[in-house]
């Protein structure tokens, strides 16, 4: 007999479900080491807690180094609500390619401890810690048990195989050697 899947994840027999299906010792209260751009996202979704399947929620702790950022990205399956726990964050998102004058409208705000900001589903957004001396921490809740994340620069310049430099040079209206240089930066980071 094949297991029943919902949203691509196996559903346990209800008679076999236990408390551990709804639990993870995630240590979200502990600071994390940040990456090259100065952030670290610790996501807790259906892949870490099986009991989240079909519930439509997940959570993430995001640590920001001084001047660190969670670079422009999108969640194709979730709206995000971000709460600043420590520090200050400059955040923003861009609307979709709507008809003028609303086309690609940029919304941004500086958030302090306790402030909340919403990033609508699928829109490109970012967070940046403007403080050169202090880290920042936020908690994000997302309206999907598997929100997905597409970091724009990584996807465009670090794809495997690479997107043609002719295509990207025309799209970004820059010289091909600029695209080649960008692809080399992301290829090295994404494929080593």
Short-list 55, 9, 48, CA closest to 25: 48
| Residue 63, φ and ψ in degrees, nearest 5 | -100, 135
Helix (H, G, I), strand (E, B) or coil at 112: coil
Is 133 annotated among the ligand-binding residues?
no
* 80 annotated binding-site participant: yes
Assigned token pair, 186: 């992301």
3-state secondary structure labels for all residues of 14-28 = HHHCCHHHHCCCCCC
> How far apart, in whole angstroms, are the C-alpha atoms of residue 124 and residue 92?
9
User: Is 125 marked as binding a ligand?
Assistant: yes
- Residue 92: closest CA among 120, 67, 64: 120
Does 2 appear as a known binding residue? no
191 is in an annotated binding site: no
Output the CA torsion 130→74→48→17 (10° steps): 130
Report d(CA 29, CA 44) in Å as an integer: 13
Distance CA 140, CA 117 (A): 10
Give binding residues for oxalate as ranges.
Answer: 70, 75, 80
Give binding residues for Mn(2+) as ranges.
Answer: 73, 75, 80, 125
Give binding residues as ranges.
Answer: 70, 73, 75, 80, 125
């Amino acid at each position: 007999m094949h297991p029943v899947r919902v949203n691509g994840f196996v559903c346990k027999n209800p008679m076999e479900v236990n408390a551990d299906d709804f639990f993870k010792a995630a240590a979200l209260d502990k600071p994390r080491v940040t990456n090259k751009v100065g952030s670290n996202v610790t996501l807790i979704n259906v892949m870490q807690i099986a009991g989240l399947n079909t519930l439509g929620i997940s959570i993430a702790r995001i640590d920001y180094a001084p001047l660190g950022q969670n670079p422009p990205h999108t969640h194709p399956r979730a709206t995000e609500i971000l709460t600043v726990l420590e520090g200050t964050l400059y955040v923003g998102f861009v609307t979709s390619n709507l008809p003028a004058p609303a086309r690609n409208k940029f919304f941004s705000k500086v958030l302090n401890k306790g402030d909340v900001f919403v990033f609508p589903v699928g829109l490109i957004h970012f967070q940046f810690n403007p403080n050169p001396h202090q880290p920042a921490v936020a908690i994000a809740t997302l309206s999907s048990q598997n929100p997905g994340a597409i970091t724009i620069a990584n996807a465009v310049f670090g794809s495997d195989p690479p997107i043609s430099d002719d295509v990207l040079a025309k799209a970004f209206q820059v010289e091909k050697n600029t695209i080649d240089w960008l692809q080399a930066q992301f290829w090295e980071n994404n494929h080593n």
